[in-house]
Amino acid sequence: MPVSDILRRRIGAAVVERVAGPRQRPSGERPQIAEADRWFAADRPIRQVHSDCAIFVGGIAALLLQSLHPLAMAAVADHSGYQTDPWGRLQRTSRFIATTTFGRDEDAMTAIARVRAIHEHVTGTAPDGRPYAASDPRLLTWVHVAEVHAFLRAYEVYGERPLRREARDGYVADMALIAAELGVPDPPTTEAGVLDAISRFRPELAGTPQAWEAARFLLRDPPLPLVVRPVYAGLAAGAVALLPHWARRELRIPAIPLAHAALARPAGHLVVNAIRWGISAPNS
């Protein structure tokens, strides 16, 4: 096997293991799922978006945007292991996305039920004295629309194959099915609906010390070996470039000078394409 292909396989394996966790069984022993048994058919936009490496950038952007709701951020800070076990949390999230996107109906519903059960125990009081509950429909809605917006925006900018308007709306509608099962009341089903929902949340959103700490952790102090940090830095720069100006301001992320802004998206493209290249390495 050529050295270049060996390198690609190692890059791909390292990325998959970091994000999705170590393989539970050799790839040849994975149970086959009939297309008819999957929740979403092969032609659904959700499968196109979530199978693309642009989701790496979208995931960072989603976390940054979600942190701007003080109650949602308080729940994460109090109950999530994002600082003590960030990769474990990422891997659990990745498995949930994979199961609901590509899995069988019954497996997706089991994963959703598990998340709902966890949410029932995530309660507390934010630093400003307000109570929070992860099962609160309002907080569930914010987390959902922020995630959909970030994933779709990342795919539009960094995805391999662009989506037409109807496919972008189709992606939002696909995600709405998952959101409704998670307890989101009347989730938006179009891209315009997501943007409208975010604008209606604006009065509730603000940077807080907890959000600023999360942003520093995600952007400046990720627990990564030094040799990997340049790759992550490209993903992070690409994610920051996707955020609305008001979100960067609330998170106290320095304004991107024109020269840096011109480099942020190319850096994101470079890293996403490198990961895509590595994961697409031949198996033999």
110 in a structural domain: yes
H or E stretch at 133: strand 131-133
125 in a structural domain: yes
273 in a structural domain: no
Please check whether residue 244 is in contact with residue 211, taking contact to mean a CB–CB distance below 8 angstroms.
Answer: no
126 in a structural domain: yes
The total number of structural domains that make up the chain: 1
21 in a structural domain: no
The CA radius of gyration of the chain, in Å to the nearest whole number, is 19
Full residue range of the structural domain in which residue 128 is found: 40-227
Closest CA to 216 of 115, 71, 122, 82: 82
19 in a structural domain: no
pLDDT string in tens for the chain (284-residue length): 554 555 555 555 555 555 555 555 444 444 578 888 899 999 999 999 999 888 888 988 999 999 999 999 999 999 986 666 666 667 788 889 999 999 999 999 999 999 999 999 999 999 999 999 999 999 999 999 999 999 999 999 888 888 999 999 999 999 999 999 999 999 999 999 999 999 999 999 999 999 999 999 888 877 776 766 777 788 888 889 899 999 999 999 876 554 455 555 666 666 676 666 555 555 44
pTM of the shown model: 0.84
Instruction: Tell how many helices (H) and how many strands (E) occur in the chain.
Output: 13, 2
85 in a structural domain: yes
